[in-house]
Amino acid sequence: MTKRLFIGLEVPRACAETLVALDPGAKGVEWLPAERLHLPLSLHWTLGEEEEQRLRDALAEVHVAPFFLPITGISSHGRAPSVAISVGIGKGHPHFFALHRFIQDAVLRAGLEADLKPFHPSIVVARASKPPQGKFLKFLRENAETEVCLLHVQGFAMFQLDRGPLRTDLEVVERWELA
């Protein structure tokens, strides 16, 4: 049986609720529920059991000290009909970028395709079918530098993504603690 998997950071409930509360109620913008918010660190793969186990074993070797990560600035990216509204990590933290690099190294050790594109980490909080306009565009500009919350990153997770005709379910299938 194959699974659609990716690696990322869980967003703690309090921070996720703060992100959801940012919703200005703009027409044509669908804000995601708190339980769907995450910060991706890898590509999505469709893996069989053997590949998944190799990845799990390689990820167990990833070690980075825990750190704090600011969640800062709301922006939009993409083109119609799939515009993402996201919150970034400001200037980030060196441990965050080290974690990303070590995860990509683990992916390669597991024999999978690493993400070689430039890394622009963000938490997608909403989706829209067209670029921001009017009051919503003003909202984005006013919050482009807003610090929303601070994540205490103590680990990372493997997520399973299931897409159905009416929804997308996101489930954590394993967690790894940072050393």
For residue range 57-111, list pLDDT tens digits in order: 999 999 999 999 999 999 999 888 889 999 999 888 899 999 999 999 999 999 9
C-alpha–C-alpha distance, residues 4 and 169, integer Å: 11
CB neighbours (10 Å) of residue 86? 19
- pLDDT computed for residue 110 by the predictor: 95
Which amino acid does the sequence have at 91? K
Task: Measure Cα distances from 66 to 39, 53, 63, 130 in Å.
Answer: 16, 25, 9, 38
Q: Is pLDDT larger for residue 44 or for residue 158?
A: 158
What is the rounded average pLDDT for all residues in the chain?
A: 91
C-alpha–C-alpha distance, residues 36 and 103, integer Å: 22
Per-residue pLDDT band at 114 (split at 50, 70, 90): confident
Residue carrying structure tokens 């194959």: 2
C-alpha–C-alpha distance, residues 15 and 11, integer Å: 6
- Arithmetic mean of pLDDT, 48-56: 94
How many domains is the chain built from? 1
Rounded to two decimals, what is the model's pTM?
0.91
Q: Where are the beta strands (DSSP E) in the chain?
A: 3-10, 29-31, 38-40, 45-47, 67-79, 82-88, 122-128, 147-153, 155-163, 168-177
- pLDDT computed for residue 4 by the predictor: 87
- Arithmetic mean of pLDDT, 142-155: 95
Which amino acid does the sequence have at 139? F
Exposed/middle/buried for residue 85 (C-beta within 10 Å: 0-12, 13-18, 19+):
buried
Q: Is pLDDT larger for residue 150 or for residue 44?
A: 150
Per-residue pLDDT band at 165 (split at 50, 70, 90): low
- Report the percent of the chain where pLDDT is more than 70: 97
Looking at residue 156, which CATH number applies to its domain? 3.90.1140.10
CB neighbours (10 Å) of residue 101? 14
Indicate whether 141 pLDDT > 60.
Answer: yes
Supply the range of the domain harboring residue 63: 3-177
Per-residue pLDDT band at 169 (split at 50, 70, 90): confident
